[in-house]
Homo-oligomer: A and B are copies of this chain.
Amino acid sequence: MPYTYEHPHPAVTVDVAVFTVSDGRLAVVLIRRAEWPHAGKWAIPGGFVGIDESLKRAAWRELREETGIKAGVLEQLGAFGRPDRDPRERVITVVYISLAAADRLRLEAGSDASDARLFYIDDLPELAFDHSRILEHAIERLRDRIDTEAVARQLMPARFTLTDLQRACEAVSGDTIDKRNFRKKLKTLDLVEPTGGETQSGAHRPAKLYRVKS
């Protein structure tokens, strides 16, 4: 036990809530814990911060190790540190939020997790630690702060239809949006441009494909 201090030190972890839109519903990446405590329960991916590692870098590394995801933008949600949140020792966790396009998620369970998969946020399993509370905060923050541009840039695949984009915005906000109003606003935002392509449609008119500008 080589690490000694004059005063007691808490452990510090980082956790990352990765949100995506799958099948028109807002979803989050969870891992199944392989070890005590809460073995078998689902949890937000995360782990201990290296002693010479920045918080954000630790978040990126842990997410990659446990799920195979290489995160894009990581936004800090905050620190959660109630004294009894982990039975092993005092643990303070710094939580990040990230967004990922569904087509870029190839989940691979890593060393500390026996499984990694998506859950719809309105159909979550029982979670380890205080991760239910943390996810509530994360979803609230997401709904408060995210805008159409963030959805288009971070949650959509390279090419998408305007209806796809609208569905993603609706999934994130949890509310329905009027189609004409949505497209009117997109025009003023100057955010997307047509690629020229179209969906090979089903039994209906094909939709134009768009990409995010610049």
Report the separation of the CA atoms of residues A10 and B13 in the bound assembly, to the nearest whole angstrom: 10
Report the separation of the CA atoms of residues A28 and B81 in the bound assembly, to the nearest whole angstrom: 26
Chain A's interface size range is 20 to 34
Report the separation of the CA atoms of residues A51 and B84 in the bound assembly, to the nearest whole angstrom: 10
Report the separation of the CA atoms of residues A11 and B9 in the bound assembly, to the nearest whole angstrom: 6
Instruction: Determine whether A53 belongs to the interface, using a CB cutoff of 8 Å to chain B.
Output: yes
Interface residues of A (CB under 8 A from B): 1-12, 48-49, 51-55, 76, 78-79, 81-83, 90, 92, 94
Q: Across the interface, which residues of B come within 8 angstroms of A10, CB to CB?
A: 9, 12, 49, 51
Leading 10 A-B pairs by shortest Cβ distance: A9-B9, A8-B51, A55-B81, A79-B79, A1-B4, A4-B4, A79-B94, A3-B8, A3-B5, A52-B83
Report the separation of the CA atoms of residues A55 and B81 in the bound assembly, to the nearest whole angstrom: 6
Give the distance to chain B from A126, nearest Cβ to Cβ, in Å: 24
